[in-house]
Chain A
Amino acid sequence: MTLDKWLMQAVRGLSNDSADTVRREIQEHFEAARDAALASGIDPQQIDVVALQALGDPGVANRQYRKVLLTKSEARVLRNSDAESRMICSTGWVKWVLLSAPGTMLLLSVVFVAMHQYSLARGILVFGALMALFFIAPFMPIYSVKRGRIYRAVKWIVMIGGVLVLFGPDGWSWAWLNSCCFYPVLYMEWKRMVIRRKLPISRWPRQLYL
């Protein structure tokens, strides 16, 4: 095996930036090992073999690297994770429509309660709460770990509470619908959680707090 092949296996699945980091540090390490081996008088033909053996199994290194560096899919999620903010802020009228929608829905739900249309009022209220949660967040001053945790806790409480309010005791029979609707949200939340563990807080973009 050559160093190039070792590196190819070690960086499999990692994002481009992560792969560059791994290549640079392993190459530096390899050169230092070669220099040390040369100085200690090892047969020059055996130096590369000895240095590679010391690095160990590239598959094991790859598994370890995936736990601490961003993978391709995580880097993609990170790149696209401000999509909601970009969409909201892209056009003036879209921004105001989306920001006023939750308030309008709250008012509508009050109207429907007054008209004794409880199930409709409930649905509109939950939908409005979810919209408020996702669309207003980019405009809130959430830029510290503590505030981020509070926001995420509220988000989960509202999401789970919304499902319970909408479906009540029949929630299980609607599980197929809930899993379809919430799968993208759960996937993004899972990926963001993994990214938060991997990136130092000083390198978090704003959207990771949300």
Chain B
Amino acid sequence: MNLKGTLPTLILEVLAQEPSHGYRIAQKIKQSSDGLLDFKEGTLYPALHKLENEGSVESYEGVESGRARRYYRITPSGRKALKDDRAEWQQLSRAVSTILGEA
């Protein structure tokens, strides 16, 4: 399943828990959705760059298992964006559920 446009929100959700690098973010999204949300990992980084340009996340160099990695962490404005996205998604989800429930 590929929900277009939701990737930035999912990334922010993962980063709200702890700072992480690209590969781990991708794996966490896949694991959290029990493999239902499958996206190509090559598109993860453009989404991260977009969030970085918007000021929702910031990156820094870190080391894991002796290898240099670029880590990403959520910023206060990213947390606010995530809160707004959550509220918007819940509203949308309720509306669609209502319509499908009535059908």
Residues of chain A at the chain B interface (Cβ within 8 Å): 6, 10, 22, 24-26, 28-29, 31-33, 35-36, 54-58, 60-61, 64-65, 67-69, 197-201
Contact = CB atoms under 8 A, between A and B. Distances in A.
B23 A56 contact: no
Given A29-B23, A32-B23, A61-B46, A55 B41 contact: yes
Contacts of B52: 200
Contacts, number: 78
Interface in B84-101: none
Given A28-B70, A35-B65, A68-B49, A61 B42 contact: yes
A25 B43 CA distance: 12
Contacts of A36: 23, 27
A67 B45 CA distance: 12
A61 B22 CA distance: 15
Interface string B15-30: 0000001111011000
Nearest to B52: A200
**Which secondary structure characterizes the binding site on chain B?**
helix
Interface of B: 21-24, 26-27, 39-47, 49-50, 52-55, 65, 67-70
Most buried by A among B40, B43, B46, B50: B46
Given A28-B67, A28-B70, A32-B23, A68 B40 contact: no
A32 B50 contact: no
Most buried by A among B22, B45, B50, B70: B45
B69 A10 contact: no
10 contacts: A25-B22, A32-B22, A54-B40, A54-B41, A55-B41, A61-B46, A64-B42, A69-B46, A198-B53, A199-B53
